A and B are shown apart, each in its own frame.
Chain A
Amino acid sequence: MSLALIAALPFLGALLPGLMIRAGRNACALLTGSVTALALLGILLHAPTILGGGVVETRITWVPALGLAADFRLDGLGLLFAGLILGIGLLIILYARFYLAKTDPMGQFYSYLMLFQGAMVGIVLSDNILLLLVFWELTSLSSFLLIGYWKHLPEGRQGARMALAVTGGGGLAMIAGMLILGQIAGTNTISGIIAAGDAIRASDWYLPALILILLGCFTKSAQFPFHFWLPHAMAAPTPVSAYLHSATMVKAGIFLMARLWPALAGTPEWFWLVTGAGLVTMLIGAKIALFKHDLKALLAFSTVSHLGLITMLLGFGTKAAATVAVFHILNHATFKAALFMSAGIVDHETHTRDIRRLGGLRHLMPVTFAIVVIAGLSMAGLPPFNGFLSKEMMLEEAAHTAPWVIPVLTLIAATFSVAYSFRLIAHTFLGAERHDYPHHPHDPGFGLWAAPALLAVLVVLIGLMPMTFASGLVDVAAGAVTGEAVKVKIIHWHGLHSPALWMSLAAVGGGLALLGLFPALLRLWDAAPRPEAKRMFDTVIETLAALARGIDRRLHGGNLADYLWIACATIAGLGLWAFLTGSHVAGGQALQPVPPVVAVGWFALMVGSLAVAIWHRQRLLVLILISIVGLMVSVGFAYLSAPDLALTQISVEVATVILLLLALNFLPKTTPVDTATPRRVLDLGLAATGGLLVGGLIYALLTRDFAFPSIADYHLENSKTLGGGTNVVNVILVDFRGYDTFGEITVLGIAATLIYALTESLLRPGPASDRLRHWENDTQDAGDRHPMMMVVATRMMLPVALMVGIYIFLRGHNVPGGGFIAGLVVAIALVMQYMASGFGWTAARQRIDYHGLIGAGILVAAATGIGSWFAGRPFMTSNYGYFEIWPLEKFELATAALFDLGVFLTVLGAVMLALSSLTRIAIRAGQKVNVEAYDMQDRMGGEEH
């Protein structure tokens, strides 16, 4: 079977349980199990090849640019781990079927479990470090889901988050480490990296890579100082603890250290980092385990300790030590999984895991008792069980490793592990039978104890006949780790000269002694102050989160002024910096004279601007001042040869001021002081700086010439001949750059649409419309709302204004004018009617639909553009000709004019729609001014009621 398929099977299997659970729990478990069994079968089919010293490979390209490929490779180490993952996985599925309560969503559980299984298989089969990273992070994610499986338990949620934070964080470090490793080795295939071992160890990047990768491994395998997350992960259902936290996931780190052993091991850095971490972990774990009362916690810390043991062995960097490590991986997986499941059984039967509440179960639960004794003694390292064999070999290695502190500490750790193993057995099963169990226990059904029993059998078989049941696998696995042929000789009796024997005896004796002294030791332990890892972790995370919240609040608290301050300061600062760091030669253009009249206008402009700043709190006054500024600007345009600009500026000016006036009708009429003086000074400083820089910039530009001939020369040359108009600006607008204008009128159209939609939402029932309904007009009403003069004047003006509009529109192409200005003029003329005669009167008289006007305008413009397609020309290619219609004189008609019509319509519609929206708000506010229209003939204006 293809390795890719084997790796994929569990993921495919993860989809099934969610559906199959509808067919019942048995069907669900059976199906899930059979998928795992199939994958296991696939592995076993390759076993002969592997045991024969060969390897199996599957290579699929994925992202060559990144050096990421779906390369899978099965060798001895992979076989060992894949076998463990799938084999124990199978048992766990069986066990979980009977362990989970009816209320637990089993389909979900199996799905998560399969996801995790797939990720693990992926890790051990990957031959590409990036692919391995993918699966690595997947184990973190799936274990997050599994630990948090009982969502209602806060411990579960916190444990899940802690596990994700620690292992996920380590994973991030490992990403960097792996990328560095790949760059040193020049390849991302693990086989290639292993081959490049010497180069890697020689590289300057070796140490950073090593540290980053070890961070990943240590967090995953709960090595000191990252060991604290594992016990809290025990909030998960027991099958999960047995699977992830004893047999598989926590071994992922070990696996990776073994996998990269040939590339990374053998240096002093490796020795001290790995051995050190392993040794400390082994010691601490064993010590804590002894004093834990929760069965699962005890087992959890013993796991931590055993992982430390294996890590230490890998750290030694010798072939023999690595071989022992491999052997112990196998043994630990067997007895520890069995113990976890048994602990689960006890919990399941007695409804407690607290050792202090247990004891004397041996008669009530003989089967469980038997299993626990076998596995427990193996954990303690007593003959004839498999734990004894690897333990002996481990002590042997430690004894021959300098400095002396290593064997000493190892011995102490071993002593403690004997002690907690004995305590597990004795305090749970031995002693007198009690009558205060939370629930009266008895052995569970076969389904529940079958799995641990099978493992116990393995413990015994390997223990008795290691050369038959283990050595072959150990040989190939160790061979894969060390990269050399391994022929292990596993024996029970090393002879009297062997230090391991005496160390074992010492450990057993010491262990018994510790157990004897347990009550006294426990008092000491409870008295002694200990760092509570979880509290520390939580404090760190909570402080981090609180800090983050604080910073975020401060930064994004919603104060626009601060936002804009930072923006302006950044822009000004960087602009200045960019200028100062570049070479600048002042332009040589002669300055132009200033006629007195211009000076006067300029003075008015300056005074007006400053006055706006000074009196910006009097809002009505500001409107007058700003229109003075606008007026002066347009006068300036007119003087500086820009008649079109002048016209547009002035008409836009009028429309804007009208708009602001109507809005100000509702807004407060003054602006209170809400900033302290220092802040205002700061603002002034920034404003002055900004003004200075912009002024300086335009001065520098004004006094120099173009570096290259301007494109405008082309427009001046071709405006008449090709564009068919003498007003170059207008030709640019409707022809050379008509596309800009197309966008521009769309903007206007959208603006009006938006304003209309906004008005609609304001008038819908809600705070806004309530506020309007109970509107108190705070301004003093004028004596006469519709001054006769104004009414008459505007009525008279209307036709004139319309004529003017049309005239401006038509002449636009050749002399100042055009659709836009025309549109505004007509719009303003109509607005005048509103203001003078009131909404009702005017609305009654003209029923143009402004939406339609806008839509039509844009459509006309677009259609004009598309029209040229039919002439085989690009969008908006203009065409023009001269026509003569009696009695008019010969005049020119250009498609550009049609386009300009679109502009005209859109502008008119947009302005009117915007203003009429405002008027609707006014009506809601019950403003008489707009409703009861004054009228000279009739009073139909009142119809709005």
Chain B
Amino acid sequence: MMMNHWIIVPVVLPAIMGAFTLLALRHDLVLARIFSVAATVALLAVAAALLIATSSAPPEVYRLGNWPAPFGIVLVLDRLSALMVTLTALLALVVQLYAIGTGWDGKGRHFHALWQFQLMGVCGAFLTGDAFNLFVFFEVLLIASYGLMIHGGGRARLKAGVQYVAYNLVGSTLFLFALATIYSVTGTLNMADLAAKLPQLPEGDFALIRVAGVMLLMVFAIKGALVPLQFWLPATYAQAPGPVSALFAVMTKVGAYAVIRCYTLFFSPALPATGEMFADLLWIGALMTLALGGIGVLGARSLGGLAAMAAVTSMGTLFLAVSQFSAVGLSAALYYALHSTLAAAALFLITDMVGRRRGDVLLTAQGPIAQQGLIATLFMAAAIAMAGMPPLSGFLGKLMVLDATRGPQIALGWSFVLGSSFLVILGFARAGSTLFWKSHETGGTPAPQASEPLAITAIGLLLAGLVALTVLAGPISDWMADTAAALLDPSAYIAANTLGKR
């Protein structure tokens, strides 16, 4: 059978570029920048092409080593994976420009190599159709993220780094337990094969597969910062370099993606062994996340912490929509995922802007900073987006999520979403007026600072993305609806794997 080699490119291209940067470019920052940006641009182009191609075609399988599923590893390109890869490439490119524009990439060694490896891991995780391979690429993206997280060093950052690594190593171990259990019960690791086999599972094995499913869910919940497994996130996001936190905005989405993928494909609510169990767990987790996130935003003592908790809250909203496992729910979740990724990234970059002008990001009144008016405006826009206020996409996303929340617990879900929005609005209003208004009271002249046009442009691009999401919400949500429908009926996905045939 003829293969579409482009499917593997989003993994191989960054891998080669990372290795090449290590091999040849590590002593020349300028060269590293040029190649790295070029590679990300190429990645974006390929991703966009794949996205367009798959929008009008059934899922497509890429057999690595030409071994048939389920015996070898396959990549599966479908609307969802293409969407996530494109989002990743887009975010990576913009944030990379910021990192270059602010000189962050020069504050330590190997920034661009690690950046490319990070992309390799994320794209690999999105594209794979094999459960164990998903683990491997989780590890790739994790270890790259460890490197980026401690980029530039510093005491607090390293401490947070140790916690981040330790917590996620526990997650990885759990991942392996879960996979081993799944293999031990079903004798397979290919996702489509699992989807085909699990429904015929003998009743005597139900309990064990339920354990495996819960363990797997916990693994993804850690990635997706679902309460009570969110503890790694606040310190990590608050301490990581600005551009890195911004890129991490897509890392939580990897968790969300994995949940959407696995729990619609082979652990779907229709599965006799597990039924609604996972939906219920996600629902409860999402409610707790909304509550704690909102509280965290209101109670934050630094802009970094505020941004981090706002990101947590957005994951709560996202998972609330996912937990419905309905067409509206999933398409709302996907739209909201796009929105919250860009919005959170913008917020983290703005936080970094403030931080590098003030020296800290504590929510205390200090003298005005360079480019205060501009940065304040950008902050206002990002805050509006994160808080889900109009006119930006956050509001539409919130409406979609509310609209998707149906059934008996509607009152509960709505009051949590709206309640946490209220806390978030309060938190942002307090933070903004303290940082950007109160400083007029203290007066004084801001410390001189380069105007950094490239960095500002990067933030502008992210906000422009939000505007586009808002204006084009109609066609986008239609596209999402089709994607959701495909997720809820994975027969095409399974068929594409041509299980067991040469």
Contacts and interface: CB of A to CB of B under 8 A. Distances in A.
Chains A and B in contact, CB within 8 Å: yes
A701 B425 contact: no
A578 B213 contact: yes
A697 B181 contact: yes
A750 B429 contact: no
A61 interface: yes
Interface string B407-426: 00000001000100111011
B273 interface: yes
B481 A65 contact: yes
20 contacts: A134-B395, A137-B389, A151-B436, A152-B441, A172-B422, A545-B426, A560-B162, A566-B231, A574-B218, A583-B203, A697-B208, A707-B186, A707-B187, A751-B143, A760-B108, A768-B153, A854-B19, A854-B23, A865-B12, A875-B65
A271 interface: no
B496 interface: no
A744 B136 contact: yes
Given A552-B309, A750-B117, A68 B64 contact: no
Contacts of A697: 177, 181, 208, 211
A249 to B, nearest CB: 16
A551 B140 contact: no
Given A66-B403, A743-B124, A583 B204 contact: yes
A175 B8 contact: no
Contacts of A154: 441
Contact of A739 (B64, B167, B174): B64
Contacts of B124: 743
B299 A545 contact: yes
A555 B64 contact: no
A168 B389 CA distance: 9
B418 A173 contact: yes
Nearest to A763: B153
Interface in A480-538: none
B344 interface: no
A261 to B, nearest CB: 25
Contacts, number: 375
Contact of A855 (B24, B136, B150, B299): B24
Nearest to A580: B207
Q: Which of B201, B210, B301 has the most CB of A within 10 A?
A: B210
B399 A567 contact: no
A413 to B, nearest CB: 33
Interface string A106-136: 0000000000000000000000001001110
A551 B299 contact: yes
B187 A736 contact: no
B478 A65 contact: yes
A571 B478 contact: no
Interface stretch (A156-164, A319-327, A339-347, A660-668): A156-164
Given A173-B418, A558-B235, A575-B211, A736 B67 contact: yes
A448 B331 CA distance: 54
Contacts of B437: 148, 151, 157
Interface stretch (A348-356, A391-399, A708-716): A708-716
A893 interface: no
Contact of A579 (B121, B211, B436): B211
B153 to A, nearest CB: 3
B42 to A, nearest CB: 15
Nearest to B400: A66
In the complex, which range does the number of interface residues on chain A fall in?
35 or more
Interface string B185-225: 11111100100010011111111111101110010001000
B146 interface: yes
A754 B163 CA distance: 16
Interface of A: 61-66, 68, 130, 133-135, 137-138, 141, 144, 148, 151-152, 154, 157, 160-161, 164-165, 168-169, 172-173, 175-176, 179, 541, 544-545, 547-553, 555-556, 558, 560, 562-564, 566-568, 570-571, 574-575, 577-585, 694, 697, 700-701, 704, 706-712, 714-715, 718, 735-740, 742-744, 746-747, 749-751, 753-754, 756-758, 760-762, 764, 766-768, 851-852, 854-859, 862, 865-866, 868-869, 873-878
Contacts of A133: 390, 395, 399
B72 A743 contact: no
Interface string B175-188: 00100110111111
A756 to B, nearest CB: 7
B23 A743 contact: no
A751 B121 CA distance: 13
B143 A876 contact: no
B54 to A, nearest CB: 18
Given A161-B430, A578-B277, A746 B140 contact: yes
B231 A567 contact: yes
Nearest to B301: A549
B59 interface: no
A711 B72 CA distance: 9
B418 A552 contact: no
A449 B14 CA distance: 68
B440 to A, nearest CB: 4
B210 A179 contact: no
Contact of B421 (A148, A172, A583, A737): A172
A164 B120 CA distance: 44
Nearest to B196: A708
B187 A706 contact: yes
Contact of A767 (B72, B155, B197, B235): B155
Contacts of A566: 228, 231
A751 B425 CA distance: 41
B143 to A, nearest CB: 5
A541 B15 CA distance: 51
A138 B181 contact: no
A63 B474 contact: yes
A852 B19 CA distance: 9
A273 to B, nearest CB: 20
Contacts of A179: 399, 402-403
A445 to B, nearest CB: 29
Interface stretch (B82-90, B248-256, B257-265, B290-298): B290-298
A17 B193 CA distance: 62
Contacts of B64: 738-739, 874-876
A710 B298 CA distance: 52
Nearest to B157: A761
Contacts of A172: 418, 421-422
Given A707-B186, A750-B144, A581 B210 contact: yes
A547 B3 CA distance: 58
Given A148-B433, A173-B418, A866-B12, A66 B477 contact: yes
Nearest to A567: B229
Contacts of B35: none
A757 B185 contact: no
A544 B299 CA distance: 9
Interface in B478-492: 478, 481
A15 to B, nearest CB: 12
- The 3 tightest CB contacts between A and B, nearest first, are A585-B204, A855-B23, A548-B299
A743 B140 contact: yes
A132 to B, nearest CB: 11
B109 interface: yes
Contacts of A757: 108-110, 114, 147, 151
A419 to B, nearest CB: 37
A659 B470 CA distance: 52
Given A706-B185, A754-B110, A875-B12, 20 more contacts: A68-B399, A135-B390, A552-B295, A556-B235, A558-B163, A564-B166, A578-B214, A701-B208, A711-B70, A711-B71, A711-B188, A737-B133, A743-B140, A753-B113, A757-B108, A757-B114, A758-B153, A858-B16, A859-B23, A869-B5
B231 A141 contact: no
B254 to A, nearest CB: 15
Contacts of A560: 162-163, 166-167
Given A708-B197, A739-B65, A570 B229 contact: yes
B153 A762 contact: yes
Contact of A756 (B15, B110, B292, B430): B110
